[in-house]
Every structure is written in structure tokens, then in C-alpha cells.
Amino acid sequence: MIVYRSRQIWLMLKYVGKPLMVLAIYDQAVVLLYKLGHWNWVSLPHIPLALYGSAIGVVLSFRNQSCYGRWWEARTLWGSIVNNSRSWARQVVAMRAPDREDSAELATMQRRMVYHQIAYAHALRQHLRQLEPWEELTSMLTESELSALRNEKNIPLTLQRQMADMLQDCRDRGWIEGWQWMAMDGSLNDLADAQGGAERIKNTPMPRQYYYFPELFVHIYCLLLPLALIASMGWYTPLGSTLVGFIFLALDKIGRDLEDPFENNPNDVPLTSITHTIEVNLRQLLGETVLPVAEPPLKGLFW
């Protein structure tokens, strides 16, 4: 996710990159052909440019609003994962053993349950980005636990099942009451709901018409711009045409960048930063003092 606070004019121009450069060259070529080559037929001043622009603007606005809705829902779902991860860890560390002899065993179980939740957050991030999670899980799980996950297709779901088994074991041993079990099981259910919502966004792309047609309409509009402006603007046509074209090209790219918030690109939901926050918070609840250090933004980006 981009976190620049100041205006970055150069980056804004670079955002549309090659299409904007091609448009500028095309605009200049039209002017040279019209002014020096006397190709008067390239001038099409009667094109209803304002009508076309209004229609394309409506299409882009509708598409971008839908894409931003997907991005914001993804961020909201991960906000729920953060909150329920904290709730789970808080409920885990609040467990008490009736017998002092069980205190050491309970502490081991608490640490294991919290570490599984941290592993779950990292595994879900990599699952949504379609990346291998093993490097992130090595410090959280034992070798036997990692081996049991190797053949699983949905590693976060398997980790949730293991946490549910540990929770039932705690109830059987009398470390939690029935109402505590229900509250903690509710936290697991909320995590499962959030994971399902994130997977729905990941596995349900926008209709391809939303991707292809707005881009096609914008390119046609940019091709017509200098032809409609050349008669009235003359040598200044590249200035007006490129500026208006830049606006439409940028709007088109904004929608395409927000369409899939889990593609591990600069405009995604910053899952790495979020999972780091979860890990730090949960380790603190365990009483650990040696915590992972947050990585600063890399060239103005949070991943």
C-alpha cells in the first residue's frame, strides 16, 4: 500500500507511464501532419467529444467504485482478523489451571495456542497471495506440526482445526469453563468468517467486461482527442489532449489496480504490515519482551 504523504508529481505522471508517453507522441504527430503536412482531413472538429467523455466518465466512476468497494471490504475483513486474533490471545492467556501441578503444562499450551494464531495470520496472508508460507511458519510451529501441514491445500483452515482441538483439550482438562469455551469458539468462528470473505474476493474476479471495455473506451477517446482539438488549439493541441488523456488513463488504471487487493503489488491491502502487527501484539500478550522489529516503508510502500 502506498503511504506517501506529500504530493509526488513525478510519480503521478509515471503512474500511467508508457500509455501517456505514447499519447504525447501521437498528439505531436497529429499536429505536425496537420500543420506542416497540410493533412486537413485529420481534423474532426464535429466529434461530440464532451458527450463521449461524459459517458466514459460514468463508466469509469461506476467501475472504480466497485473496485474500491472490493479493496475496502478486504481491508475491513483483515481488521476483523486483527481484532479476533487479539481477542483469542487475550482469552488464552486468561486461562487458569485448577491445580498448581498443571501450571507449567498450561503455560506451554497457552504459548502453543497463541503461536498457532500468529502462524494462522501469516499462513492466511501467503494463502491469499498464493505464496509458500513455510519460511514464516518455521519459528511458530514444531517440525512435526509443519510436516502435518505439508500436504494440506488450505493451511489456514487446518491451523484453525488444530486450534479448535487444543481448545477442546483445555475444556476437557478443566482449564476453561463452558462459557469460556463458547466465547473462544466464537472468536474462531469470526476468524473463519473473515477468511471466507477474503477468499471470496480472491477467487471471484471482477467480470472481464469491467476490465476490457473501460480500457478500450479510454483508448478510443484518447485517439479521438487530438483530432477533435487540432482545428481550435493548433500547436497547443498536445498540451490539452495529453492533459485530458492523462486524467482518463489514470482513472482507468486506478480501477484496475484496486480490483484484486491480494495480488502482492504496491496498491494491495498491506498484509505483511498487518500480520506483523498481529504477531507483535500477541507476543506482548504472552509477556514476551523480545519482539520483531517493524520494517519501515520501502520506497514509500507498506507491503
Task: Locate 108 and state its grid cell.
Answer: 506451554
Cα 202 to its chain centre, rounded Å, is 10
Q: 503512474: which residue's cell?
A: 15
Tens-binned pLDDT, residue by residue, of the chain (303 aa): 555 555 566 666 666 778 888 888 888 898 888 888 888 888 888 888 888 888 998 989 989 899 999 999 999 999 999 999 999 999 999 988 777 777 889 999 999 999 999 999 999 999 999 999 999 899 899 999 999 999 899 999 999 999 999 999 999 998 888 899 999 999 999 999 999 999 999 998 888 887 788 888 998 998 889 888 888 888 888 888 888 888 888 888 888 888 899 988 888 899 999 999 999 999 999 998 888 877 666 655 665
14, 253 Cβ separation under 8 angstroms: no
Residue 298 phi/psi, 5-degree rounding, is -95, 105
